[in-house]
Amino acid sequence: MRTLFVNPNITPEITAHMAAEARRAASPHNEIVPVTGSFGALYIANRIEAALAAHAVLDLLAEHAQGHDAVVVSAFGDPGVWAAKEMLDIPVIGVSEAAFHVARMLGRRYAIVCMTPRLRTWYVECAHEHGLADGLVAARYLPTPVDDVTRAAQDLSDAVLDQCRAAVEEDEAEVVIIGGGPLAGLAHRLAPHVSVPLVDGIACAVRLVEALAGLGLAAPRSGSFARPEPKPSKGLSPHLAAFIEGKT
């Protein structure tokens, strides 16, 4: 199995950090193939950057998806995920989507811990978009400034741990999601120090997409997720234009 692992921000260091967690979680038969956006922001932290990232996701899929069995969109907040599901005939899952589903299976009350107030707002909106906000009891952000996003997992681990514990003790969360690609791997590292399950969306997405691919379900031939009809385009990358125009 080959899983295309899509990071739609422009920072290869973040891609490598997230891909390491994906490979740690993946089954031995699953090859993780990471790709990084060629345009957009250093990392995605608001709706504007998420809109750019959605375009970057589709651009990367148009160029790289062929020859893969599944796709993970590794940007918490899932930019472009619904469009990606419409675009491809293979399973596509976003890391937020995966984390929310797993959290709701593990408990009735879950919380999110993330880096900044604006990320908090976006992640809460994402939970509503996926229809999984009914169990969300808190979304906490760190009081610590993010000086170097490529070192967030190392520099902010103590602050993340404090917020995870507060979510359990003050918000009565039964599951805590650690959100944001730069914080990948912290759920695994901090789990022994928190009394409820800690969820990493990357690990969840990798395992869930393996299950979806293994089910061998047919791609939709009707409905809103069937491949759209071709139409002319302008100003797109050659690979994305070929898809929109029905040439691939």
Same fold, 2-94+204-244 and 97-201: yes
Distance of alpha carbon 206 from alpha carbon 81, whole angstroms: 15
For the stretch 165-208, pLDDT in tens is 999 999 999 999 999 999 999 999 999 999 999 999 999 999 99
Sequence length of the chain is: 248
Residue identified by tokens 């359990």 is 168
CATH of domain 97-201: 3.40.50.12500
**What residues does each domain of the chain span?**
2-94+204-244, 97-201
Distance of alpha carbon 85 from alpha carbon 225, whole angstroms: 7
The whole-model pTM stands at 0.95
Mean pLDDT of the chain: 96
Distance of alpha carbon 109 from alpha carbon 133, whole angstroms: 10
**Cα→Cα distances 141→23, 30, 115, 122, Å:** 27, 33, 5, 12
Quick check: helix, strand or coil at residue 209?
helix
CATH of domain 2-94+204-244: 3.40.50.12500
